[in-house]
Amino acid sequence: MTYSVFIDGAAGTTGLEIADRLSNRSEFNLTQLPDAKRKDTSARREAINDSDFVILCLPDEAAREAVSLVGNDQTRVIDASSAHRIAPDWVFGFAEFRHGQRERIAGARFVSNPGCYPTGFLGLVNPLIASGLLPTDWPYTVNAVSGYSGGGKALIERFEREPDIGFRGYGLALDHKHMPEMKRHAGLTHDVIFAPSVVRAYRGMIVEVPLNLAAMDVAAKAGDLLDALRLHYEGSPIVGVHDGTGLDELLLSENDPATDRLELHVCGEATGDHVRLVAKLDNLGKGAAGSTVQDLNIMAGLDETLGLRL
């Protein structure tokens, strides 16, 4: 069976990445609008309602508008924006982070893909909270760096015209749009303290959650967290879990290749209380386009790894 797919926002960074992953897939037929019609509401409405699947790669307000254009009860939507990530009627599109989530995605009509930073945070923390090893009422801190492609065309252009800038810290007002998503889907009592930054690497991302287990008054040690993550992701073709003991450094390079994997590291002596949970992923891969294609595969009843870069 061949499914029709319309990417609304196909000219953006994420849209181009998704189209590239789908370009040689016989299971999907991509509907494309000419440049002159990309922002034409009538043309978009027609493409949306004529498609089996619609993928939204748009700013939040435009994504909400696109959903309002759906005028049938059959078109299924995957939203790569942050517009619907905590909306009650949308399924969170992170198949691995919770048992049963893959099945929820498979049966959903509306799926909201996770943000790139929350993918790292939730991938690390959520299984540990669900297993009772970490509490929900701790004020978690998230330190993260991303390649500049995560900011879209505007930030890409800024880095290209300002070659002397290698690091940009932002979100200093503590109101980053990913914070509610992290809190909601980890089931936390407190907002996270989120410290994001962008570095001179086109793609790639490192997300870290430092923990002092003794101060948290939990019985778990670093080795327990590692074992729990390994058990949770056992057999996953996409998520890897690694013992970070002795790991000297993690690198982001200007020329890192595209990947749709998520690599999780537990750094700290097995019997110790000080732990650095670290996720490495491609902000355009598992943090955006890769997870979108994975969700599309699941919703279409296909092998979820088809078209992924693993």
Active-site annotation holds for 116: yes
Burial of 137 (0-12, 13-18, 19+ CB in 10 A): exposed
Instruction: Tell me the β-bridge partners of 2.
Output: none
Tokens of 193: 């303290």
Residue type, 72: N
Exposed e or buried b per residue across 205-233, where buried means at least 16 C-beta atoms within 10 angstroms of its C-beta: bbbbbebebeeeebebbbbbbbbbbbebb
Among the listed residues 7, 91, 116, 228, the single catalytic one is 116
d(CA 41, CA 186): 37
Could you give the residue numbers annotated as active site?
A: 116
